[in-house]
């Protein structure tokens, strides 16, 4: 298998917004409780947050975390989570049929975020609530003092406002499963008026309108155009959510999931730009891809009609090296669209379809998908470059003919970094890279994620079974690099 590509600074896409490497903490399953928060755990800090998890979050490199949901937010009363902990109510969360003890709320979450060094973005409840609760929350979080809600935050122990810049106007409001599900017209009016009031509290905030919950929603496209037509002047982003999994034994289609993500993004960009054109708007709407990951949703279907429980184990997918290669490729897709996708949140951070797993009272470890995320977040900083490839093609059931090689590059202070995936399950790929546009490159360091066993996973007993490996340095000669990408592999080649 042979392929060729060109990395050239002239093929600029745009600057990487660090928020592209965001994550997501929902009050769901064990993401918060026994995930980031577990008082009594041997590594817990004075606030009850797990130190071992905090260390892994720092290592993962997460510049922004979306909170508190997800479907959870559509029934959430944020006021339940503030003030003296022993006076907070335990509530039945209908999204996941879980008992929410409200031991972690907006104040604890922001203390945790400061500890791990991440920014935050928040979602407001447009399912069971609306304008009043949303504007009060912005006031609580972002105003310094002198008003009811800002002074209450100060009395609750946070003298400084949190300065939450990005706010999601609800979550997946197009989905019939959503508490307070709405038609596009109903949602658009509420989002517009809520956003308007929130911005009156703090004019510096950015607002995300709900797009479709997935490309497969029957209202996809018309939902976006209706919502944006109505709410264009108040929103800055439209959200995208996309989850991918292998269906049956069709691994080739799964390995091409990033092609599906590319097409999905292109379709939403086209829809937003259509609304812009029709409305003669100057402003451009960009994308907040604020839920994406591999998620074996077909397994979860069996878990509907959940028993009511406290801290249940929900959708704790264990990821294989195959899943990790796909996650690396999805990050390539997000980077390729860096001119329009400004925010990305992998869903979720801990235990729930997550990069980090924990055992209550026990260890925390990195899932296989942790690695491409951490390496991309650390090294994909700078200017994204489109990478034209000459690649063998193959046919997939889900996406038709797709290239076996997918790649993008990011030019940073230390030189360009190439991210590339060999989607062939069994054959290595000889790669011939034309780097002449950069001039003077003399060294290449090749790191790959690949394994002889495509099902290999990390678990509690074998937490480092899947990890990236340094391969032999590729040869560089006269602006040409020859490298070999292992079968079914995610690769990062740092050039200098
Ligand atoms: O991330 C899990 C769930 O997936 C979220 O709560 C919801 O927004 C999406 O459907």
The whole-number pLDDT of residue 299 equals: 81
CA distance 109 to 111: 5
pLDDT tens digits along 306-316:
889 999 999 99
CATH of domain 17-379: 3.20.20.80
Q: What percent of the chain has pLDDT over 90?
A: 97
CA distance 56 to 59: 5
Average pLDDT over the chain reads: 97
CB-ligand 1 contact for 26 (6 Å cutoff): yes
* Calculated CA dihedral for residues 173, 351, 450, 385, nearest 10 degrees: 40
The residue to which tokens 């495509």 are assigned: 454
Which residue owns the Cα nearest ligand 1 atom 5?
A: 70
CB-ligand 1 contact for 348 (6 Å cutoff): yes
Could you tell me the two tokens for 451?
């394994």
| pLDDT over 60 (residue 342) | yes
C-alpha 241 – ligand 1 centre gap (Å): 8
The whole-number pLDDT of residue 414 equals: 92
Active site (annotated) includes residue 59? no
CB-ligand 1 contact for 171 (6 Å cutoff): yes
Asked if residues 389 and 403 have their Cβ atoms less than 8 Å apart, the reply is yes
pLDDT tens digits along 357-405:
999 999 999 999 999 999 999 999 999 999 999 999 999 999 999 999 9
C-alpha 481 – ligand 1 centre gap (Å): 42
Count of positions (residues) in the chain:
496
pLDDT tens digits along 29-47:
999 999 999 999 999 999 9
pLDDT tens digits along 236-278:
999 999 999 999 999 999 999 999 999 999 999 999 999 999 9
CB-ligand 1 contact for 347 (6 Å cutoff): yes
Atom of ligand 1 nearest to the CA of 243: 4
Residues sharing a CB contact under 8 Å with residue 305, sequence separation 6 or more, in sequence order: none
C-alpha 7 – ligand 1 centre gap (Å): 37
Atom of ligand 1 nearest to the CA of 69: 6
C-alpha 349 – ligand 1 centre gap (Å): 12
pLDDT tens digits along 159-177:
999 999 999 999 999 999 9
Q: What is the largest CA-CA distance in the chain?
A: 70
Out of 291, 303, 401, 455, pick the active-site residue: 291
CB-ligand 1 contact for 69 (6 Å cutoff): yes
| pLDDT over 80 (residue 65) | yes
The residue to which tokens 């290595």 are assigned: 428
Which residue owns the Cα nearest ligand 1 atom 4?
A: 70
CATH of domain 3-8+386-495: 2.60.40.1180
CA distance 283 to 62: 28
CA distance 332 to 406: 8
The whole-number pLDDT of residue 300 equals: 78
* Interval 338-366 mean pLDDT: 98
- Complex ipTM value: 0.99
| pLDDT class of 298 with cuts at 50, 70, 90 | confident
Domain with CATH 3.20.20.80 in the chain: 17-379
The whole-number pLDDT of residue 13 equals: 98
Out of 79, 108, 172, 224, pick the active-site residue: 172
Active site (annotated) includes residue 172? yes
Which residue owns the Cα nearest ligand 1 atom 3?
A: 70
Domain with CATH 2.60.40.1180 in the chain: 3-8+386-495
The rounded radius of gyration (Å) of the Cα atoms in the chain is: 22
| pLDDT over 60 (residue 303) | no
Class of residue 264 by CB neighbours under 10 A (exposed 0-12, middle 13-18, buried 19+): buried
């Amino acid at each position: 298998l042979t392929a060729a590509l060109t990395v050239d600074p002239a093929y600029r896409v745009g600057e990487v917004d660090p928020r592209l490497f965001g994550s997501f903490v929902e009050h769901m399953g064990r993401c918060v409780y026994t995930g980031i928060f577990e008082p009594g755990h041997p590594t817990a800090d004075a606030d009850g947050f797990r130190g071992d998890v905090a260390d892994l979050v720092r290592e993962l490199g997460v510049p922004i975390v979306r909170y508190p949901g997800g479907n959870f937010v559509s029934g959430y009363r944020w006021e339940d989570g503030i003030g003296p902990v022993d006076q907070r109510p335990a509530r039945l969360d209908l999204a996941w049929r879980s008992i929410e003890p409200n031991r972690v709320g907006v104040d604890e979450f922001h203390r945790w975020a400061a500890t791990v060094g991440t920014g935050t973005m928040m979602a407001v409840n447009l399912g069971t609530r609306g304008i009043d609760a949303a504007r009060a929350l912005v006031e609580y979080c972002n105003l310094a003092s002198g008003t009811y809600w800002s002074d209450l935050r100060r009395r609750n122990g946070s003298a400084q406002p949190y300065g939450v810049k990005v706010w999601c106007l609800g979550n997946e409001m197009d989905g019939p499963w959503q508490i307070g599900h709405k038609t596009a017209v109903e949602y658009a009016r509420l989002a517009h008026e809520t956003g308007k009031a929130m911005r009156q509290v703090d004019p510096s905030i950015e607002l995300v309108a709900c797009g479709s919950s997935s490309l497969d929603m029957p209202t996809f496209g018309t939902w976006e155009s209706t919502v944006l037509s109505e709410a264009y002047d108040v929103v800055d982003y439209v959200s995208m959510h996309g989850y991918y999994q292998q269906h049956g034994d069709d691994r080739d289609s799964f390995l091409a999931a990033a092609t599906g993500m590319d097409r999905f993004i292109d379709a939403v960009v086209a829809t937003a730009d259509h609304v812009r054109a029709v409305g003669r708007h100057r402003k451009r709407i960009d994308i907040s891809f604020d839920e994406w990951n591999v998620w074996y949703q077909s397994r979860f279907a069996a878990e509907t009609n959940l028993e009511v429980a406290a801290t249940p184990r929900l959708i704790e997918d264990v990821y294989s090296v195959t899943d990790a290669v796909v996650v690396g490729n999805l990050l390539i897709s997000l980077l390729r669209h860096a001119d329009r996708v400004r925010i990305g949140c992998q869903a979720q951070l801990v235990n729930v379809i997550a990069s980090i797993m924990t055992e209550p009272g026990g260890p925390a470890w990195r899932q296989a998908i942790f690695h491409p995320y951490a390496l991309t977040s650390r090294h994909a900083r700078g200017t994204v470059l489109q990478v034209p490839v000459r690649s063998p093609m193959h046919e997939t059931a889900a996406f038709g003919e797709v290239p076996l090689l997918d790649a993008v590059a990011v030019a940073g202070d230390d030189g360009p970094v190439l991210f590339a995936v060999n989607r062939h399950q069994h054959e290595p790929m000889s790669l011939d890279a034309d780097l002449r546009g950069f001039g003077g490159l003399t060294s290449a360091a090749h790191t790959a994620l690949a394994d002889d066993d495509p099902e290999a996973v990390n678990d509690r007993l074998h937490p480092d079974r899947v990890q990236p490996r340094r391969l032999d340095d590729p040869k560089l000669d006269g602006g040409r690099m020859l490298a070999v990408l292992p079968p079914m592999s995610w690769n990062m080649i740092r050039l200098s």
